[in-house]
Amino acid sequence: MIQKVLEEAVEYARAHIHTGEVATYIPELAKGNPEHLGAYIMTMQGGCFHAGDWQRQFTMQSVSKTITLILALKLAGEQEVFSRIGVEPTGDAFNSIVRLETKTHFPLNPMINAGAIAASGICVERTCNALEEFLDLARKLCGNPDICIDHKVYISEKTVGMRNRSMAYMMQGEGVIKCDAEDAVDLYFKMCSTLANTRDLAHYAMILANNGQNPLTGEVLIEKWMMRIIKTLMVTCGTYDGSGEFAIRVGMPAKSGVGGGIMACAENNMGIATFGPALNRKGNSVGGLLIMERLSQNLGLHLFSGNVFYK
């Protein structure tokens, strides 16, 4: 049943991806093919289902912000992290700088660029091996020891990332970032440039669905107190300023990225990931959103639907 529903969802979404466009503000992302579309589901019993261009690699971009936050929480603890980063939705674009100047010098949440840069700064402050520790965590969460950085995308982001540098220097000036702003933003660019495919992200989402424990090995990768934070922020802030609509239409904790990826976790059930580089105006994959919505409807995955999750 799951395979049939997944294939139908991908084909349905494929008819609508022409309404989106690839991200162009990062030159390497502008090379993406807007026709690509794929999805992967991994159940906690080990079932794997896939359709479309599920094997194609893409950079995590903002999906990596969840891993950055987990690492920051591991290194510094909840009190320190949230003394410098808020937890409220913004209603603004993910790369907006306006709130840092007009409302608070602290970023409003860790799922926007400013918040993820601040979290990166905390990681740099706490360890001299921040990138290695990030990659080690990403490899375990994704179940892929070959997870690595796409150097071309990293250089592309570093070359054009002046807005992100502006945020970093502003936060350094206000004491939110206590390391060198360039070190914080450089780590952020590398984290965003981490390569994955839908299988990798579905594996990560499956662990989130199982409250931080890999159900296939029994290894606990994320402590329960961190899971409460991560999944709550994914619901309220995970798909940029489209998070409210996503919560209504799909109803699963999720995180998207402008590389075209979206991952979502169906509680106690499965991890889902989609890839489609054609984005809407809010930076979310057009095809990915539609796939997630169809899967939620047809498999009864919405947190608040009252349906029994499909097993």
Question: Do the two domains 2-60+196-299 and 64-192 of this chain adopt the same fold?
Answer: yes
The residue ranges of every structural domain in the chain are 2-60+196-299, 64-192
310 is an active site residue: no
CA pair distance 223, 183, nearest whole angstrom: 28
- Comparing 46 with 230, the larger pLDDT belongs to 230
Residue from 22, 120, 156, 188 carrying the catalytic annotation: 188
Residue from 22, 153, 240, 256 carrying the catalytic annotation: 240
Give 97's pLDDT tier (boundaries 50, 70, 90). low
Q: Which residues share a beta bridge with 52?
A: 38
Q: Which residues share a beta bridge with 285?
A: 279
CA pair distance 234, 131, nearest whole angstrom: 23
CATH topology of domain 2-60+196-299: Beta-lactamase (3.40.710)
Give 103's pLDDT tier (boundaries 50, 70, 90). low
**pLDDT tens digits for 156-171?**
999 999 999 999 999 9
Residue from 140, 258, 285, 286 carrying the catalytic annotation: 258
**pLDDT tens digits for 286-296?**
999 999 999 99
188 is an active site residue: yes
What contacts 15, CB < 8 A, 6 or more positions away? none
Amino acid found at 271: G
For residue 62, which of 115, 1, 135, 129 has the smallest C-alpha distance? 115
Question: How many H-runs (helices) and E-runs (strands) does the chain carry?
Answer: 13, 7
74 is an active site residue: no
CA pair distance 82, 84, nearest whole angstrom: 5
Residue from 62, 96, 120, 256 carrying the catalytic annotation: 62
- The pLDDT score that the predictor gives to residue 105 is 75
CATH of segment(s) 64-192: 3.40.710.10
First vs last C-alpha separation in the chain: 10
Q: What's the average model confidence in pLDDT over 107-120?
A: 94
**pLDDT tens digits for 271-282?**
999 999 999 999
Q: SS3 for 42?
A: strand
62 is an active site residue: yes
**pLDDT tens digits for 187-208?**
999 999 999 999 999 999 999 9
204 is an active site residue: no
**pLDDT tens digits for 40-70?**
999 999 899 999 999 999 999 999 999 999 9
Average pLDDT, the chain: 93
pLDDT at 311 over 50: no
Residue from 40, 63, 65, 140 carrying the catalytic annotation: 65
